[in-house]
Amino acid sequence: MALSDDLLKKNGILCSYYQYYLAVAHYHQGLYNEAIYQLEMIVKEHGKDVYLWSLMGHCYYKLEDHINAMACYEYVLESYSQPKNVHLIQLRMGNYYLLTKKFSCAKKTFFNGCKQLPTPRMWKGFGIACLRLGEHDNAELAFCEANYLDNADAETWGYLALVNGLLKRFDMLKNCFLEAKKLW
């Protein structure tokens, strides 16, 4: 490490690429505070790089510092030059909004995620947000889409049963409940 530090220094300052990959290595090793330290040093030099902010958000998320994680994630999503794949960021933000009962924010986040990369988890999150907002028809459509993409998810079948109960379609409720029970 000492030799690599010496080789990668430019005028006594570590090369930011080295620091970034060191932060990535720390992240994969579960050394999230060390990764954040490296990332903060790079951010001082190259503060606008969304990949730095994205990784920093993931580190804060793993440390369960959701406020700082959301601040990093919001910076990434509001940035003009977004990374190509923000799926994980949108899932984590949407779930955080659900946990903090910000259902409109969750709905918007999950919906934007569904437009970019429609996965079962993204549709299910959108459905849960709609359900909590009392939008039962939209919730049903979202859960059906999630179910279409992955019909082996007992939780999605459970939500479909719940929506059908709220819409007073008891035969469908029974069918969805039995499917959820079978998969559970």
pLDDT tens, residue by residue, 77-87: 998 887 788 99
How many helices and strands in the chain, by DSSP H and E?
Answer: 11, 2
In the predicted model, is pLDDT for residue 4 greater than 60? Answer: no
Q: 144: exposed, middle or buried (C-beta count within 10 Å: 0-12, 13-18, 19+)?
A: middle
- State the pLDDT confidence band at 17, using cuts at 50, 70 and 90: confident
Q: Do 102-184 and 1-83 have the same topology in CATH? A: yes
pTM score above 0.75: yes
**Every domain of the chain and the residues it spans:** 1-83, 102-184
Looking at CATH, the fold of the domain delimited by 102-184 is given as 1.25.40
| Mean pLDDT confidence for 125-138 | 98
Q: Note whether 57 and 89 are within 8 A (CB).
A: yes
| Mean pLDDT confidence for 137-149 | 98
Homologous superfamily, domain 1-83: Tetratricopeptide repeat domain (1.25.40.10)
| Mean pLDDT confidence for 28-54 | 92
What pLDDT score was predicted for residue 83?
Answer: 79
What pLDDT score was predicted for residue 10?
Answer: 53
pLDDT tens, residue by residue, 91-131: 999 999 999 999 999 999 999 999 999 999 999 999 999 99
Q: Give the max Cα distance, the chain.
A: 73
